[in-house]
Structure 1
Amino acid sequence: MSLNNSLSLESAVGKVPALTLMFWLIKILATTLGETAGDALSMSMNLGYLLSTLIFAGLFLVAVVAQIKASKFHPFLYWTTIIATTTVGTTLADFATRSLGIGYTGGSTLLFALLLASLGVWYKTMGSVSVSTLSSSKAEMFYWVTIMFSQTLGTALGDWTADTAGLGYVGAALIFGSLLAVVVIAYYFTQLSRTFLFWSAFILTRPLGAVVGDFLDKPLSAGGLALSRYSASASLIFMIIACILLFPQRAGATAKH
């Protein structure tokens, strides 16, 4: 009997939010913030991709440890950890694709392989990659490592679609937005695995946020709006906080073994 089948009907309140429409809205805002804030540190402040990655990686580790040690769901802590994964994902992807010279195609391929490996090891170890089974620190660690890889992949994939594929930021946003719409349709009208659909949507929101973030702060000559990375990041932070305060989130249920 697989681990999925051995889960009892008993459930407990988890430490991640329930998958509501507000969850996905905040997720897209957070991924967009990851792009603008990551670029603000590495480009506007001229700290470079490597140093910026090290700074954000430190923040990510602190946030993850706090999240895993927490005894219950804390909205601000959870979304701070998500934002930390998006910022480190932005600078790490830029470091790999630009500083190491492997390009957007090579970076996207490598990061996609790492993401699949993370999911594979998680499944082999725990028997499931569903967020409803995050009932142990080990499962949570797999969850956050997988999210970090998905956020990093999203940056490289967004850049590849907008630049290498020549679709531009608006064109790339339409592509990823359309793919998300397909996932939503599949959720409501098919019997496809909910776990598969969750991770598909989770992964696709990152390149969507990446190209929207680039559209906001890249120069007019590059197809962007040339907005200040600082003001764009501050506006996104304000919107995320407003969403959390105005639309309180409940924790999702976690199945007990």
Structure 2
Amino acid sequence: MTRSTANFNDRNDLISKVPQATAIFWMVKILATTVGETGGDALSMTLDLGYAVATLVFLAFFVITLTLQVRSDRYHPAIYWAVVVATTTVGTTMSDFLDRTAGLGYVVSSAGLLFAVLLILAAWRAVAGRIEYQNIVRSRDEVFYWLTILVSNTLGTALGDFTATSLGLGFERGALVFAGLLVLVAVAWRVGKRIPVSVLFWAAYVLTRPLGATLGDTLTKPHEDGGFALDRITASLAILGALVVIVALQHWRGTRIAARPVQ
């Protein structure tokens, strides 16, 4: 998914603080959202801390990782993806708190969070004159970028639960629905000319969250609920391990390419 602004991004790779939206990026993003779902449930349910306490724990992790990200002067894979995982875990527990503890339900919370995402993007465009997704250099864009990610990941959890539970599709069919919607966005990214790339990027970003959430629930929910009943902690560690390996290999490959002498 790199339809446009190729030359523009080539000039800014060294200063942009976020990775390019390649196929590997989306693969890691889905893994990050899946581990956010299983990890959030592991802390709030398996360890029985509750949604409020688990949200505070993950929020502290988010603040720490985001501080490191903001203070960095370039893209650091480990820091960047740690912040993304933090937003997915916070999003999971925060959504569950709104849906269940606060009693808003999946429909109300999904609608409210969707409105919040659209409001943030509209404010971003009004303040900066455009919505960024890849060339994040200025502090203003970075604030909007991470705020959008945090709220969209919370929205994704609510949407995943809404589709699986309220609509009665179950987790497996819910995952297929969001996977199909992502395919449509990918096609529009490739062949579309009228839809801004930034809009398609953030649409895909929102959709990968409920996809990851439903995949995570499919892995860990009981058999009677349509899941595979895997241990939440074990599943979280396995998915996190796969994420770390892919990011490390990609970084190693990028370092080798950068070190090659110019012909």
TM-score (norm 1): 0.92
Is the CA contact 2:12–2:135 (under 8 Å) kept in the aligned structure 1? no
Identity of aligned residues (%): 43
Q: What's the RMSD between the two structures over aligned residues?
A: 1.9
Equivalent residues in 2 for 1:16-31, closer than 5 Å: 16-31=18-33
In structure 2, the residue matched to 1:48 is: 50
In structure 2, the residue matched to 1:149 is: 151
Q: Give the drift of 1:188.
A: 1.3
In structure 1, the residue matched to 2:140 is: 138
Is the CA contact 1:112–1:153 (under 8 Å) kept in the aligned structure 2? yes
Unmatched 5+ stretches in structure 2: 1-7, 256-263
Equivalent residues in 2 for 1:1-257, closer than 5 Å: 11=12, 13=14, 14-191=16-193, 192-248=195-251
Q: Could you say if the C-alpha distance between residues 56 and 104 of structure 1 is closer, same or farther in structure 2, counting changes exceeding 3 Å?
A: same
In structure 1, the residue matched to 2:4 is: none
Is the CA contact 2:19–2:75 (under 8 Å) kept in the aligned structure 1? yes
Matched letter for residue 239 of structure 2: L
Matched letter for residue 96 of structure 1: L
**Count of matched residue positions in the alignment of Structure 1 and Structure 2:** 246
Local SS of the residue matching 1:30: helix
Q: Could you say if the C-alpha distance between residues 246 and 64 of structure 1 is closer, same or farther in structure 2, counting changes exceeding 3 Å?
A: same
Matched letter for residue 107 of structure 2: T
Provide, for residues 76-110 of structure 1, a one-character-per-residue CA deviation record: whole Å limited to 9, x for no partner. Answer: 11000000000000000000010011100011011
Alpha-carbon separation, structure 1, partners of 2:200 and 2:123: 19
More strand by share: 1
Q: Could you say if the C-alpha distance between residues 10 and 51 of structure 1 is closer, same or farther in structure 2, counting changes exceeding 3 Å?
A: same
Provide, for residues 206-229 of structure 1, a one-character-per-residue CA deviation record: whole Å limited to 9, x for no partner. Answer: 000000000000111111100000
Q: Give the drift of 1:53.
A: 0.5
Runs of 4+ in structure 1 off by over 4 angstroms are: none
Matched letter for residue 201 of structure 2: F
Alpha-carbon separation, structure 1, partners of 2:11 and 2:76: 22
Alpha-carbon separation, structure 2, partners of 1:44 and 1:229: 7
Is the CA contact 1:17–1:250 (under 8 Å) kept in the aligned structure 2? no
Provide, for residues 104-130 of structure 1, a one-character-per-residue CA deviation record: whole Å limited to 9, x for no partner. Answer: 001101111111111111111111111
Deviates more, 1:125-134 or 1:53-62: 125-134
Local SS of the residue matching 2:18: strand
Alpha-carbon separation, structure 1, partners of 2:129 and 2:217: 38
Local SS of the residue matching 1:232: helix
Alpha-carbon separation, structure 1, partners of 2:156 and 2:179: 13
Local SS of the residue matching 1:17: coil
Q: Could you say if the C-alpha distance between residues 209 and 132 of structure 1 is closer, same or farther in structure 2, counting changes exceeding 3 Å?
A: closer
Alpha-carbon separation, structure 2, partners of 1:98 and 1:144: 25
Unmatched 5+ stretches in structure 1: 1-6, 252-257
